[in-house]
Amino acid sequence: MTTTIQPSTSPPVGLGRIRGLQCRECGELYAAEARHVCDLCFGPLEVAYDYDIIRSSVSRASIAAGPRTLWRYRALLPIDGERVVDSHAGFTPLVKAHNLGRELGLKNLWIKNDTVNPTFSFKDRPVAVASTRALELGFEVLSCASTGNLAGSVAAHAAKAGMRACILIPSDLEPAKILGASIYEPTIFAVDGNYDDVNRLCSEIADLYPWAFVNINLRPYYSEGSKTLAFEVAEQLGWRRPDVVVVPIASGSMFTKIHKGFSELEKVGLVDSGRAPRMIGAQADGCSPVVQAARAGTYDVQPVRPNTIAKSLAIGNPADGYYALKIVEQTGGALEAVTDAEIVEGIRSLARTEGIFAETAGGVTIGVLKKLAAERKIDPDELVVAYITGNGFKTTDAVAEHVTPPLHVAPTLASFQAAIHPGDRGGQRG
């Protein structure tokens, strides 16, 4: 027998640094429990904090004394207890991209390299927070709807937390991502449909089964983990905010939470007051509902049916699309999309210049960065951070036909020289 009643250890609304969950539309405040939609207006909920309490307890020094993981920012995350599900995610490299910057005419370009997280994507950040909160709320099953990266992260964190994992994915997901999740021995359901179909099914399941769906009933906590992408960049830049950030958009959650993270740093006094970074959102042409809305001059994001190699971004009905559009407008940012061919070239460019192998979502980020730099929509002197959110070994099929094949030689010097100098019949050159 199943039940919709969820165990909860949440404090009453308004106590401590976590005020509760607040509707982004009408402002109604709820207890910090497992819910994600406002009962009054059906608006989305997000975690509300008492920034005065946080400001009095956090400093640059206290953060520097913390672990070299995302948990160094624990004071700004929605966690109550002492135990955390720690996979050592976060505090990934911020790389000065001299070579790529030179090609694009950008003098101060940086790459936030989240390809090196424990399950090789940024998803380890929100899942670390969501799985920790799931334990605090008394859940025993961790679940999700996933386009791939989230599946692996949920499975790994469930294993670490001693929880059962039940994951739903589109049946045409990249094989490497299915394998990357399966190794942790979750229960995986491959659904005949796209991500939006999977997500609708998960919403129905969440109403019947007492499971912690990280991106449904735990979405307010889950999404907060992405703020650490802003916290780390600011700290790694010497506690300053960049002028411009380029972020891929799927649901839009990461995009909005990176913006929230930079804002929170100012609210609690960790960075000086000033202009927020210009937020640039990147999508694939084959799934670009937010970009299409911007081009049409509307906040009404119309769902699309995805058709792109960037499957990790293939969410045709993005939950945070409206809020992404508002943030772009508020910060003087931009939204742009690139073709599959430009995605592949973006992957190759980043690998060739900076030695970073990104998945297709990273190709979208670099493709949009290249396009806007060529159009002079990014000033050459601006401090630019491009977020690379997943590892290329997860999407090798996308580039397999676009790399130079090996030169096959016999185990002789003559064969080697004939291969390396094919036009030199005499062999060795002077």
Task: State if pTM tops 0.75.
Answer: yes
pLDDT of residue 423: 75
CA dihedral 210, 119, 394, 154 (to 10 degrees): 0
Distance CA 388, CA 278 (A): 17
**In angstroms, rounded to a whole number, what is the distance separating the alpha carbons of residues 168 and 213?**
10
Q: What are phi and psi of 22, to 5 degrees?
A: -120, 135
Contacts of 361-364 spanning 24+ positions with Cβ under 8 A: 361/248, 361/250, 361/310, 361/312, 361/313, 361/389, 361/390, 362/115, 362/248, 362/388, 362/389, 362/390, 362/392, 363/310, 363/338, 363/398, 364/248, 364/282, 364/283, 364/284, 364/310, 364/313, 364/338
**Whether the Cβ atoms of residue 334 and residue 288 lie closer than 8 Å to each other:** no
| pLDDT of res. 11 | 44
Report the amino acid identity of residue 169.
Answer: I
Give the dihedral sign, CA 98/104/109/114: negative
Q: For the chain of 430 residues, list the mean pLDDT of each consecutive stretch of 10.
A: 37 70 96 95 96 96 97 96 94 98 98 98 98 97 94 97 97 92 97 94 95 96 98 98 98 98 98 96 98 98 96 95 98 98 98 98 98 97 98 95 94 95 61
